[in-house]
Structure formats: structure tokens, C-alpha cells
């Protein structure tokens, strides 16, 4: 599937792969803050300063994330902030999302915005600003700071094209929702089509097409796929079906997926997938009595190391 | 499909229907601003004050929308801001989205946020803040100000449930993407299933289920469906298939749909659908040489009246 339009140097997927290789760790920390996850001393500080307001939540999340990023930046190649957790708190929440993206990028991490946007063509082009910024009177302004984002396929090619154009023109990447990790995902994604495929396989085949012109020097495309760790056999079959498609794999840890479950999502060289864990890393301090809330960043660092080692072991790296 | 849990008084869909009846107009103005759509005198003013910045774009959009809302508020029951057009410009853009929602709500209009969000359960619950706000230390804060929002079904029931819970608990409404108006929408939505249905019909059937417990006093559910004006026959068939599902219908005007195309999306009483037009209203001043850019609000008001009258005539209201 490599084409003459392939990147050789700057494909975002190449940058992600090189980050993974440098850290020896195909995992990504999901930054999905909740108030429940915040240590009491941060709540006291920020509710004290800003009241029980969205601004307090946003500023607290940004501070929490900075400390988590500092703690894991040596270990992990990427972070994946889930924009919904910030959008919940309105504009101050989204400011924390943006600050988190910028802080992680400055720390040398690949920033995967879990935004799951999808709309008709002209509207999808507006969402593509997450990757390429907005043009204002002939000048490009970077209104957001993600390297890659997740996108929803339900609207078809014209809703994806603005993102794939940004992949090519601005060296960015996307992950198309193919097979999500949640319990109800089968309701639509596993519907059987008259041609014998399941719906998610049809989405997989479209994703292959969408990525054909963005294959980088490791043989993987800037157009990747979201494939949940909770679907082991399907993930392994998709690995064979989509040899040039990199997988973003949620559902590890808190949602039940293990390192053994996801080993078959990788290729023989140990590439082809990046496994995401959120609460399992960022709220690790709440799961083990040996930590106090003041150890939250250290607990996250240790959880990230354990995840790295579990994946290395399962992949025999 | 009416159930004992039906609302009688406060269902959001009842409020929308009563707004439609009061105005005698089943249409909604899409507020999807672009810089191309802005009159030169507004560009001069805002770029002059704030430079060529996202802040200029956001403040300009908010001002443009306020004047459009003032001009159409007597004629139309609802507005539908498309969040992507604001999100493109980052936080200042989203501030304009929020101000637009609040201004329209104060003008007595039903605010339909075209956000097309969709994610796994805990994340979808965060997005449901658009409808129900966020709880901060036991206090509910309204971080956004929409009455209804559009949602994406690809993740299945657990991704929709937080929104339907908000419909019931907070008297809000949603429209599920069933059959979108864009050219590529058939790629997935018209895939034939092994049971003979098309995918969009399977989504329609799920949407019926999701709305069963939220039927208001006019027989329509707070859980509606997006059905594009560009699919006349399918819209008419869906009207019969989904007797309790209210339709939000994009694709009128600039995308090609006419009043005759959408007449069959309504029930015999002229209820059951609300037709959306965006550029056709808000950029009307650019389509007719009789207007100068200073007439943009008046041109929008006249276009909204023409659309109302075309729908009234097609529906014999």
C-alpha cells in the first residue's frame, strides 16, 4: 500500500514510532481528569482560591496534569488528553485542555487529542483546526496544539477528508474509531452486513483507503485506527487486515484489557500499536494504601513503569 | 410507544413544538459563522481592535450572531449554532459559541447545539454537561447553555444513555445522527445489513428505543433524529417508521433541499420536524445585489420569512 506520495521524513506516525522506540514503551497515558481523582490538597488549594467554580476545576486539572507529565515524561512517548473531561467544565476546562496539550508537547511527548469529532465536509474542515490551525486573513494561527486526534467515521469520506488533508499538508495524524472498547459498542459496530463483513470491518476497510496516501517510512499510515483492548480476537484479526494501520488501543487496565490481550495488536517487530491507560496511571495513588495523596505523581510514574514492563514482557521486547 | 414515564409538562420537545406553533414556523437558523461570511465593516472593526487574532474572530462572530438573532427572533423558534465553526478559533471562538447560546436563550429561542459528540459511557457523561452542567462539590454549575444537542450513535447505548438521562432529569433534548445530509453519508449509513435493513435504519430503530421513556404531551420524544433534507424518500419512510421521533433536518437551501423535499418529513398535523438553514439565512446578503453588507441582518430576516412561507405553503399550514 505504500504509494509515491509516502512521506519519508516528517510523517507524524514516524515521529510517534520514533518516540515509542526511544522510550522502549508502546504506551500512552490518558489524561482524563475528574474531581474524584484530584488529591485533597489540590482541591483545598484551588477551591480555596477560586471557589467551587469551573475555573477552580480547570486550573486544578492543569496543575495535576503538569505534575503527572513531569513524572511520566521520561517513561512514556505520548499522552492522550480526553477533551470531554475538560469540556465538561466549559471554557475554563478547555483552557486546561489546551494548556495540557502545550505542556506535554514542550516535554517532547506526542499529543493525541481524544476528541472523536466528525461532521460533514465544511464542518469537519473547521474541526481540522485542531491539527492545522485556522487561517485568519492569510495567516495561519495555531488555535490548538495536538499532534494527532481521534475522529468518528459515521459521516463517511467527506467528513474525514479535511483531517487526512491536514495529515498530509501539516504532518499530523488521526485515529479513526473502528472498534471501541465500551460494552455497548457491539450494537452497531458488530452488525453483520449483507456482504458478510461486520460494520467495524467495513469501517476498517474505509480507514485503510483513507490512509493510503499517508504512509510513512516505517510502513504505517498517518491515518490510524482506534481498536479496543477489550476485543482481543478482533484486534488480532484487524492487525492482519490492516497491515499499514497503526492502532490506538484504549481499554487497558481499568476497563479490563491486559498486556497479553493486546500482544496480538502489534506486528512482529513490536510496532503497530500504542496502548492507552488513563485512571490506571493517573489515579494509581488511590489504588494502593502505600501511597498518600501527596504521592500521586510518583504513583503515576511507578504505574507507567509497570505498564511499560508488562507490555515489554508480553511483546518479548 | 407512550409510556407511563412520559412527560406531560416540561419535556424539552414540547417546548420546542410550542415555540414552533407560536411562530407558525418549523424552521431553525443555523449559526455557523465563517470569516468569509462576515461583512467588511465588522472585519475592519474587530481586526482593527484585536488584530488578526482568534479573539477578533470570536468577538466578531458573537456580534454578528447577536444582530442575526435580533433580526430573526420574531420569526423563528430556534437557532442551531454549529460548535465546530467556533472551536476552529480555539478558546475565543468557543466563548463566542457560549455567548451566542446564552443570547439566543434570553431571546426566547430554543438553542440546539450542533455538537455531534459521542464517546464511551463515562466520557459521554462528561459531554452531557452541555445539557445538564457539571456538579462541583455538590453544586450544579451550568457550564454551557444549550437546550438540545446533536449526538453521534457509533458507540451505542452506553454512549447515549448519559444524554437521555439528562433529557429526563433536566428536561433537555437530543437529536441522534441517523441519516446525514452530506454526499459521502451513504458510505456507511446505507450499508445493507444481513437482516435486510440499512445501517441508518438500524440506528433509527435504536433511536426509537432510546427515546421510549421521554415522550412528551404531543407524542414526540425528547430523543429526536437528524435526517438530511437531501434524502427525500428515506426521510418520508423514516417518518412512518419513527412516529414518535422528531426530526432535525439539515441540508435545506445551500445544500439543495427544498420545501417540497421535506414536506413528507412532517406528520399530518404539520409537526414532527424542524428544518435547518444556515448560510441561506445568515449569508443571504451576499446572494442578492440589492443588499449591501450593512443590510446583512435585514437580509437574514427576509430570508427567514421566505423560508417560513415556503414551508407553510408546502405543508399547507
Distance of CA A184 to the CA centre of its chain: 20
pLDDT at A277: 97
pTM of the model: 0.96
Q: Any chain B CB within 8 A of the CB of A120?
A: yes
Query: Could you give the CA distance from residue A307 to residue A275 in angstroms, rounded to a whole number?
Result: 9
Q: Any chain B CB within 8 A of the CB of A40?
A: no
Residues of chain B falling short of pLDDT 50 = 1-8
Give the tens place of pLDDT for each residue, B139-196.
999 999 999 999 999 999 999 999 999 999 999 999 999 999 999 999 999 999 999 9
pLDDT at A238: 98
Q: Any chain B CB within 8 A of the CB of A53?
A: yes
pLDDT at A8: 42
Q: Any chain A CB within 8 A of the CB of B159?
A: yes
Q: Which three cell numbers stand for residue A61?
A: 486539572
Q: Which three cell numbers stand for residue B198?
A: 440499512
Is A116 labeled as catalytic in the residue annotation? yes
User: Which residues of chain A have a CB within 8 Å of the CB of B187?
Assistant: 156-157, 206
| Band (A7; pLDDT cuts 50, 70, 90) | very low
A317 burial class (0-12, 13-18, 19+ CB within 10 angstroms)? middle
Nearest to A141 among B54, B154, B203 (CB): B54
Nearest to B193 among A127, A182, A192 (CB): A192
User: Which residues of chain B have a CB within 8 Å of the CB of A31?
Assistant: none
Q: Any chain B CB within 8 A of the CB of A285?
A: no
pLDDT at B9: 56
Q: Which of B120, B113, B142, B139 is nearest to B129 (CA)?
A: B142
**CATH topology for the A12-314 domain:** TIM Barrel (3.20.20)
State whether residue A226 is helix, strand or coil: strand
Query: Could you give the CA distance from residue B282 to residue B29 in angstroms, rounded to a whole number?
Result: 8
Give the tens place of pLDDT for each residue, A109-160.
999 999 999 999 999 999 999 999 999 999 999 999 999 999 999 999 999 9
Q: Are B280 and B303 in contact (CB under 8 A)?
A: yes
Interface predicted TM-score (ipTM) of this complex, two decimals:
0.96
pLDDT at B228: 97
Which residues 193-232 of chain B have a CB within 8 Å of chain A?
193-196, 199, 202-203, 206
Q: Distance (Å) from the C-alpha of residue B82 to the closest C-alpha of chain A? A: 8
Give the tens place of pLDDT for each residue, A157-204.
999 999 999 999 999 999 999 999 999 999 999 999 999 999 999 999
Q: Which of B6, B8, B146, B173 is nearest to B83 (CA)?
A: B146
Q: Are A161 and A212 in contact (CB under 8 A)?
A: no
Q: Distance (Å) from the C-alpha of residue A88 to the closest C-alpha of chain B? A: 5
Percent of chain A residues topping a pLDDT of 70: 97
Q: Distance (Å) from the C-alpha of residue A210 to the closest C-alpha of chain B? A: 13
Give the tens place of pLDDT for each residue, A13-67.
999 999 999 999 999 999 999 999 999 999 999 999 999 999 999 999 999 999 9
Handedness of CA B122, B128, B129, B133 (dihedral sign): negative
Cβ within 8 Å of residue B35, ≥6 positions away: A136, A137, B43, B57, B60
Q: Which of B244, B243, B247, B245 is nearest to B180 (CA)?
A: B247
Q: Cell 514482557 maps to which residue?
A: A313
Give the tens place of pLDDT for each residue, A52-106.
999 999 999 999 999 999 999 999 999 999 999 999 999 999 999 999 999 999 9
Q: Which of B81, B98, B123, B180 to probe the A interface (max A CBs under 10 A)? A: B123
Q: Which of A43, A143, A164 to probe the B interface (max B CBs under 10 A)? A: A143
**Sheet strands (E) in A250-292:** 273-277
Q: Any chain B CB within 8 A of the CB of A82?
A: yes
Enter the DSSP assignment of B172: -
State whether residue B29 is helix, strand or coil: strand
pLDDT at B2: 37
Among the listed residues B116, B198, B287, B290, the single catalytic one is B116
pLDDT at A100: 98
User: Which residues of chain B have a CB within 8 Å of the CB of A121?
Assistant: 182-184
Asked if A143's CB is within 8 angstroms of B54's CB, the reply is yes
State whether residue A272 is helix, strand or coil: coil
| CA distance readout (Å), B196 to A204, B156, B163, B193 | 22, 20, 29, 5
User: A281 pLDDT exceeds 50?
Assistant: yes
Asked if A129's CB is within 8 angstroms of B181's CB, the reply is no
Amino acid at each position: 500500500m505504500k504509494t509515491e506520495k509516502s512521506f519519508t521524513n516528517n510523517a507524524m506516525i514516524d515521529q510517534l514510532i520514533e518516540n515509542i522506540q526511544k522510550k522502549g514503551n508502546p504506551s500512552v497515558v490518558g489524561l482524563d481528569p475528574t474531581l474524584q481523582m484530584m488529591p485533597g490538597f489540590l482541591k483545598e488549594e484551588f477551591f480555596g482560591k477560586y471557589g467551587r467554580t469551573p475555573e477552580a476545576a480547570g486550573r486544578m486539572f492543569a496543575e495535576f496534569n503538569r505534575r503527572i507529565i513531569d513524572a511520566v515524561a521520561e517513561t512514556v512517548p505520548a499522552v492522550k488528553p480526553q477533551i470531554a473531561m475538560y469540556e465538561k467544565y466549559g471554557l475554563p476546562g478547555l483552557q486546561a485542555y489546551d494548556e495540557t496539550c502545550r505542556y506535554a508537547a514542550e516535554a517532547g511527548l506526542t499529543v493525541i487529542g481524544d476528541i472523536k469529532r466528525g461532521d460533514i465536509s465544511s464542518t469537519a474542515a473547521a474541526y481540522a483546526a485542531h491539527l492545522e490551525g485556522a487561517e485568519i486573513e492569510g495567516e495561519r494561527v495555531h488555535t490548538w496544539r495536538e499532534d494527532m486526534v481521534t475522529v468518528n467515521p459515521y459521516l463517511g469520506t467527506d467528513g474525514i477528508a479535511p483531517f487526512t488533508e491536514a495529515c498530509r499538508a501539516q504532518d499530523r495524524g488521526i485515529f479513526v474509531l473502528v472498534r471501541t472498547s465500551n460494552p455497548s459498542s457491539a450494537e452497531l459496530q458488530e452488525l453483520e452486513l449483507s456482504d458478510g463483513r461486520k460494520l467495524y470491518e467495513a469501517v476498517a476497510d474505509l480507514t485503510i483507503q483513507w490512509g493510503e496516501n499517508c504512509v510513512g517510512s516505517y510502513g504505517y499510515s498517518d491515518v490510524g485506527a482506534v481498536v479496543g483492548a477489550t476485543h482481543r480476537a478482533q484486534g488480532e484479526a484487524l492487525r492482519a487486515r490492516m497491515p499499514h494501520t497503526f492502532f490506538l488501543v484504549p481499554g487497558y487496565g481499568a476497563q479490563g484489557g491486559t498486556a497479553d490481550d493486546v500482544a496480538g495488536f502489534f506486528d512482529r517487530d513490536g510496532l503497530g500499536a500504542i496502548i492507552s491507560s488513563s485512571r490506571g496511571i493517573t489515579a494509581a495513588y488511590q489504588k494502593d494504601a502505600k501511597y498518600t495523596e501527596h504521592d500521586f505523581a510518583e504513583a503515576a510514574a511507578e504505574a507507567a513503569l509497570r505498564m511499560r514492563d508488562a507490555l515489554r514482557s508480553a511483546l518479548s521486547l
